[in-house]
Structure 1
Amino acid sequence: MSSDATDPVTLGHRIRHHRLERGLTLDDLGTRVGLAGSQLSLIENGKREPRLSQLGELAQALDVSLATLLDSAPPSPRAALEIELDRAQRSALYSSLALPRVKPTKGMADDALTALVGLHRELQRRASDAIATPEEARRANTELRAWMRARNNYLPDIDALAEKQIKAAGHSVGAVTHRTVSIMAERLGFQLIYVNDLPHSTRSVTDLANGRIYLPPASIPGGHGLRAMALQAMAHRLIDHERPASYAEFLQQRLEINYFSAACLMPRTAAVEFLAKAKKDRNLAVEDFRDAFGVTHEAAALRMTNLATSTLDMPLHFLRVDEDGAIAKAYENDRLPLPTDVTGAVEGQILCRRWSARAAFDRTNRTTELYQYTDTPAGTFWCATQTGTTSDGEFSISVGVPFAQAKWFRGRETTARAVSTCPDPSCCKTPRPEQAERWADQAWPSARLHAHVLSPLPSGTFPGVDDAEVYAFLERHEGE
């Protein structure tokens, strides 16, 4: 018997439905099964669950099978509406409104009942949409970052799953090829299809009905991004993700699929062997790790943070910083003093301009990493920073460690050194007195408004995804 079949509200409606079909009153049926009409009323209203023996007697008295009585489906469209209304009014969301419950009566028209249920659906939809507000997103992301820090950014179960999948696809050594990724998809019952008209709000779309994963035809030069996106799409199935019920769950799922993708492209056994040897040789470098596995610099840097603490006994930090100094991504378990807002979020906060993550933008030659020591109120940190460019502008990727750990890295001999006293405003956030005196009343800059600050996320089943655009896309390609 399924849990749905034992739902007392549905069961009560099915008993009432079959009783009324046979023209029996509550007392008539109660007499046949040895129950008072009032007791039977409680059962039909879902307020009391009958014993199994009573269910058998009720089925016999109503001349139906026990399986028919226990069917999880509502007995009629009207009953389905009444059940949905009952569940909606028992939800925490409705209770928080402190409004009285409406009990459907025989005289209530179906249209009125449909309207009530529709209002509850819209109430739930709007509540779900609210989870994608910037404030909620920042809170959820801050909690997730703390959750990962407590685990040293390492998820062994997903690492093991990834290694098992790539081995089953025939991969042994070297960079994971597009062919290997295609075999992984085929083993899951999917075909990878590259199209030019993916919905603008998506990176990929999975058609579960027809076994297809749609991807863009081109991505990061070399196709590194295409492999990652395909692996991320497969990860949803392999990790048994359900549709996210909250923004926090959406972020958790996104983290897990990104981790799975990186763990496939840089398998734990081979990656740890590579990093351990580089540490032994005192020659750790993100660029070598990147080139060995044929991935992007950012992917290699993030993967190094997954493995460094758990396998190399090394605390460290990772930063992705936009050209205006705003932090886009961050991870630290080495006490690096990151700027935060009142909620503890670091995303969007402006990083000290003395740090290498920002100093790297001022370099003329950016083909190699910038190595730098930075003295901070929390101690001295060594960082390796590489810059990059996208259609949205420049960014930098940094991996760094406390001073004592720098001895394992290439670039430790650098003489570049800076001093940061942030969050002291005098460090880099306030102009020099002579500058302020000269320009305070002589300057009128026009600020650039970041469009994403005011733009709401498209609201749909998945935060940030336009359902209508996705479904129209699937219909266009279904017959191909």
Structure 2
Amino acid sequence: MADLATLGRRVRHFRAVAGLTLDQLGADVGVGASQLSLIENGHREPRLSLLSAIAERLGVPLAELLDTAPPDERAALEIELERFQSSSGYRKLGLPILKPTKGVADSTLRTVVGLHRELDRRARLAIATPEEARRANTSQRREMRESNNYLPAIEAVAEESIAAVGHRGGALTHHTVNEMAKRLGLQIVHVDDLPHSARSVLDIGSGRIYIPPASIPGGHGLRSLALQAMAHILLEHGAPVDYADFLRQRVEVSYYAAACLLPLAASLEFLTRAKDDRSIAIEDYRDAFGVTHEAAALRFTNLATEHLGITLHFLRVTGEGAVVRAYENDGLPLPVDATGSTEGEFVCRNWSARQAFARTTRTTEYQQYTDTPAGTYFESTQTGTGQGEDFSITVGVPYAESKWFCGRQSTVRRSSRCPDLDCCRRPDERLAARWDGDAWASSRVHAHIFAPLPHGTYPGVDDRELYEFLEAHIETDSASD
């Protein structure tokens, strides 16, 4: 069904075409004119039986009445204006609401809506900055720490989704994910021309989820991409109003996908047994459910504190040592900037997240104990390569919790005094004196430094590229049909 605003405009449009007043139509279908007025203004959802009666009286098919497109340009402008004026950003301005009555000319309405579009575009320019992203990331990390990285409402949605297709545990197959999509009226389509700035695209109107080809190496992440797209529907997400809202949505859809791929009941059975055996290992958890190491590690952070009573930390770090993603509720002294953000900061060279890169063989997890100013931690790290760059995934716990984990017998122990610069940042004084003035290096430029976030509806995604992609596929699919 069309949204209520569009539906109301379509009823009003066809009533006007039929030459009926509200009183006349109301009398013919058995409702008061005031009720019809609420429906036409998008303030009341009508029963299907009433819509059928209205369609019959107006002489139009019910499907035409329920079409999702505004009936004409004027109606489209009115709907767009109403949505702009109902936004939190407009309400904060304290300005009066402009009612698009018959006395407001179409040209005036176009100008006002155009002004709103430009204000909205400029507002998005302000939120799509690295500074705003870092502040929002810091706030998000704080909120997730307070909730122990556990979101019970989304757990419930995921449990309902997998129960509907009869999945209980083990690896969630691509076939089952396809069945989950079908239940939502969606079709998963593999394409090789996705916008460069998008990992997946959801076309709600045509019911398609576009993801990369199934032939890409591994393909483990494709199930997650499809599940995340479904989550936007199930969790009733709209276009993000700011960067914090964008991050919240991203966390929620990622959480939903993980909760489907590694279901709560099956995960707890597996992890509880491993804890009882004192043999928790992220690589075992990963293999049991057929997911990536990072997915298993992140899912473990969802469940470890809430259900196993284990505080912990998680790190994804680049080969150079920069933090890409982090979570902690065990007091680990993460490197932070003046705003409290850790993303982009460099972890200590003595932490497991960086020591693991020094190994010749990286096929198994690397374990070590790390002494820090906040205490000693047991850390287990797996390295990998993605998009041409090395990275490491680390899960660590306070020393007292190490008794539950595989690899606790490790004899490797390193000391970190960071953020003390003498720990690993400053060069040896003898070497500094030897090479001062005699060394020159040409730095490798990091492209991301010069790549500001595209200023689109969804931070990081280029609107033009996105809409041209969708338009091209609609035309191609229509031709094939």
Q: TM-score, normalised by structure 2?
A: 0.80
| Offset of residue 173 of structure 1 | 3.3
Is the 2:232–2:253 contact (alpha carbons within 8 Å) kept by the matching residues of 1?
yes
Q: Structure 1 residues 366, 116: closer, same or farther in 2, change over 3 A?
A: same
- For residue 440 of structure 1, what is the aligned residue in structure 2? 436
1:456 paired to 2:449? no
| Offset of residue 113 of structure 1 | 6.6
Distance 1:162 1:85 in 2: 36
Is the 1:320–1:398 contact (alpha carbons within 8 Å) kept by the matching residues of 2?
yes
Q: Choose the corresponding residue for 2:331, options 314, 330, 335.
A: 335
Is the 2:194–2:211 contact (alpha carbons within 8 Å) kept by the matching residues of 1?
yes
Q: Structure 1 residues 137, 219: closer, same or farther in 2, change over 3 A?
A: farther
In the TM superposition, 1:311-460 aligns within 5 A as 311-460=307-456
| Offset of residue 163 of structure 1 | 1.8
Partner secondary structure for residue 426 of structure 1: helix
Q: TM-score, normalised by structure 1?
A: 0.80
Distance 1:453 1:160 in 2: 40
Is the 1:219–1:225 contact (alpha carbons within 8 Å) kept by the matching residues of 2?
no
Distance 2:356 2:454 in 1: 35
Q: Choose the corresponding residue for 1:128, options 115, 118, 124.
A: 124
Partner secondary structure for residue 329 of structure 1: strand
Distance 2:245 2:408 in 1: 40
Matched residue count: 429
Q: Choose the corresponding residue for 1:473, options 455, 469, 474.
A: 469
- For residue 67 of structure 2, what is the aligned residue in structure 1? none
- For residue 228 of structure 1, what is the aligned residue in structure 2? 224
Is the 2:209–2:226 contact (alpha carbons within 8 Å) kept by the matching residues of 1?
yes
Q: Which amino acid aligns with 1:72?
A: N
- For residue 210 of structure 2, what is the aligned residue in structure 1? 214
Partner secondary structure for residue 249 of structure 1: helix
Identify the range of structure 1 (116-125 vs 246-255) with the bigger mean alpha-carbon deviation: 116-125
Segments of 5+ residues of structure 2 without an aligned counterpart are 13-21, 24-31, 43-69
Distance 2:99 2:235 in 1: 41
- For residue 302 of structure 1, what is the aligned residue in structure 2? 298
Segments of 5+ residues of structure 1 without an aligned counterpart are 15-54, 57-63
Is the 1:356–1:385 contact (alpha carbons within 8 Å) kept by the matching residues of 2?
yes
CA-to-aligned-CA distance 1:18-37 (integer Å, 9 cap, x gap): xxxxxxxxxxxxxxxxxxxx
Identical counterparts, % of pairs: 60
Q: Which amino acid aligns with 2:334?
A: L
| Offset of residue 107 of structure 1 | 12
1:271 paired to 2:271? no
Q: Structure 1 residues 260, 281: closer, same or farther in 2, change over 3 A?
A: same
Is the 2:383–2:393 contact (alpha carbons within 8 Å) kept by the matching residues of 1?
yes
- For residue 188 of structure 1, what is the aligned residue in structure 2? 184
Is the 2:353–2:393 contact (alpha carbons within 8 Å) kept by the matching residues of 1?
yes
Pairwise CA RMSD: 3.6
Q: Structure 1 residues 425, 119: closer, same or farther in 2, change over 3 A?
A: same
Distance 1:313 1:101 in 2: 52
- For residue 281 of structure 1, what is the aligned residue in structure 2? 277
Q: Choose the corresponding residue for 1:257, options 253, 266, 269.
A: 253
Q: Choose the corresponding residue for 1:72, options 38, 41, 46.
A: 41
Is the 1:361–1:387 contact (alpha carbons within 8 Å) kept by the matching residues of 2?
yes
| Offset of residue 459 of structure 1 | 2.0
Q: Which amino acid aligns with 2:385?
A: T
CA-to-aligned-CA distance 1:53-100 (integer Å, 9 cap, x gap): xx99xxxxxxx95467654289x9889989988997998868999999
- For residue 60 of structure 2, what is the aligned residue in structure 1? none
Q: Structure 1 residues 80, 462: closer, same or farther in 2, change over 3 A?
A: closer
Q: Which amino acid aligns with 2:183?
A: R
